[in-house]
Structure 1
């Protein structure tokens, strides 16, 4: 179940990867801090949605994703406790490729893997919360804004004032 190129491999995340995930998240998203416990819980709840990227044998990125229901996104740095059932969409919690791996198609490979997980779960929509810094990237990937409630807008404000809930159909 690896997606590979000569110098990269997306593989299922292991608990031993969590220190790397937290360190990379802190360096790439300093304005959006999350505790290691958040990543560990997502890995425990949805191991098939959590991937690690190896670049030349070194940790180079991650995808954290899981089944979800509704348009109320999880607040930043908040434990879920459990996944909602039944799920109706696949939520991309975070996707990071280290600077040395950017622009080489690795993020698209991770999105493809999230779509594969969504299809296997019988879910036809990918959803995510985009920060102001990533809105253009996600728009290029075909994600569009969802109409949201005041409650949802309040949760998005825990990210930043321009954060947006985005979705697209599974391809």
Structure 2
């Protein structure tokens, strides 16, 4: 899973990456803490949707994603137990890039990898929960708000008051 840049590798995440992933998540998303168990479970449930960005041999980003069903997103810092079946979309749980790697297209590469995983699984929609800080980024990537229920709105409030469920069809 190499990218076109010689010093950059998106590769499948391994359990050895989890401590680094949790540390990066804590520094990039301090207002949205998640336990290592959350990342470990997503890796166990959907290993092809969990990638690590390696820059010069160091973990500098990650993608956590998995098959999902419906417009009820997982609450923040909550174990799933199992993935819903059948899935009808691919859920991007998190994309994080270390500050030193930002602005170089790595997040767009992660989205492309999520699209690839979705297509491989036969799914044609990407869905995610955006925090207030990332809404503009996701809009630039073509994601639009979903019409959601009061139950979904209550779950989104576990992130922040402006959190929004967004989706994009895969072309």
Q: Same fold (TM over 0.5)?
A: yes
Partner SS for 1:3: coil
Deviation, 1:56, is: 1.1
Give the corresponding residue for 1:130: 130
Structure 1 contact 3–11 (Cα < 8 Å) conserved: no
Shift of 1:3: 2.7
- Runs (5+) with no aligned partner, structure 1: none
Asked if 1 retains the 8 angstrom alpha-carbon contact of 2:96 and 2:107, the reply is: yes
Q: Structure 1 residues 3 and 105, CA, compared in 2 at 3 Å: closer, same or farther?
A: same
Shift of 1:131: 0.1
Task: Please name the residue that 1:155 is paired with.
Answer: 155
Query: 2:4 and 2:79 mapped to 1: Cα distance?
Result: 32
Q: Which residue of 1 aligns with 2:21?
A: 21
**RMSD between aligned residues:** 0.7
- Provide the TM-score with structure 1 as the length reference: 0.99
Number of aligned residue pairs: 171
For 1:109 and 1:71, the matched residues in 2 are separated by 24
Alignment TM-score, normalising by the size of structure 2? 0.99
CA shift at 1:170, angstroms? 1.1
State the alpha-carbon separation in 2 of the partners of residues 2 and 68 from structure 1: 26
> Displacement of 1:108 after TM fit?
0.6
3-state SS of 2:60 partner:
strand
Residue 91 of structure 1 pairs with residue 91 of structure 2: yes
Using the alignment, how far apart are the partners of 1:38 and 1:7 within structure 2?
29
String of CA shifts for 1:105-129, please: whole Å, max 9, x gaps.
1111110000000000000000000
Task: Spell out structure 1 runs of 4+ moving beyond 2 A.
Answer: 1-4
- Offset, 1:7: 1.9
